[in-house]
Amino acid sequence: MTLREILMDKVRDLIKHDHIRAFTLNSLREAPDYFWTINASTSGKYHHGETLVEHIIYALHYGKDHVRLIHGHWDEESTGVFYSALALHDIFRCGYEGREATDQDGKLRTDYLHPIYAADGLARLDYHMEYLGEITTYRPEDQKWFKKFQKAVSSHMGPWSPLKELSPMQDNAFSVRLHVFLVDYVVSRMDVNINVPELEQFKAN
């Protein structure tokens, strides 16, 4: 399996909410080309040297522990938003395609407004669902769960968010956006190792 296939399978398996799953899969299909190839840390200061896609797979895998921890406090929608935000929080890490942020040498770098890009850039990216042979098109920004998704992805940098009001640090213990930040933070630490069987098998081949 490729990393793309592993990530897509994780999303299909974890997100039970039909609309949120369709939205997430469609957003990944429309991700900038660089999303699938760049390192998780464009500066080399964080993470384990893994790719961005591997980092997201780690986050989804570890995120299951948070869902178990707060069992009963989230419904299917909140759980779906949580996993969707983990899958998509860095989708525009280096900016929108064609307007990427680069350093003086022309190398892609992290755009520190990327949490806002994820919240805004996916709002009008239509997704499609099929039922009894009929295909219906939906606009994310028209769905009641989408505002919760926007809050979660725009806050994933926690106290380092580009705008202070985006920080989830004062949220209650069951806040979806707080847990998105916590998972992203933990799996990015260089001294934390998370074992994902699918990734171990991928690296072994």
Over residues 140-188, the pLDDT tens digits come to 999 999 999 999 999 999 999 888 888 898 899 999 999 999 999 999 8
**CA trace torsion 126, 4, 149, 129 (10° rounding):** 40
How many independent structural domains does the chain possess?
1
Residue 147 resides in a domain: no
Model pLDDT, residue 174: 94
- Does the structure show a pLDDT above 80 at 190? no
Range of the structural domain that residue 118 is part of: 3-142+152-204
Q: 25-66: per-residue pLDDT in tens? A: 999 999 999 999 998 876 666 666 589 999 999 999 999 999
Q: Above 70 in pLDDT, residue 68?
A: yes
This prediction has a pTM of 0.94
Q: pLDDT tens digit string along 77-135?
A: 999 999 999 999 999 999 999 898 998 888 888 899 999 999 999 998 999 998 878 89
65 part of a folded domain? yes
Distance CA 114, CA 157 (A): 10
- Decide if 52 is inside a domain: yes
Smallest Cα–Cα separation from 40: which of 204, 170, 199, 147? 199
> Is there a domain that residue 187 lies in?
yes
The pair of three-digit structure tokens given for residue 67, joined into one six-digit string: 């869902």
Angstrom CA distances, 180 to 10, 24, 159, stand at 16, 15, 13
> Is residue 205 predicted with pLDDT exceeding 70?
yes
pLDDT single digits (tens) 94-108: 999 989 899 888 888
pLDDT at 194: 86
- How many angstroms separate the CA atoms of 171 and 167, rounded? 9
162 in any annotated domain: yes
DSSP state of 51: B
The residue to which tokens 């969707």 are assigned: 84
Q: Which residues pair with 108 in a beta bridge?
A: 102
- 102 has which bridge partners? 108
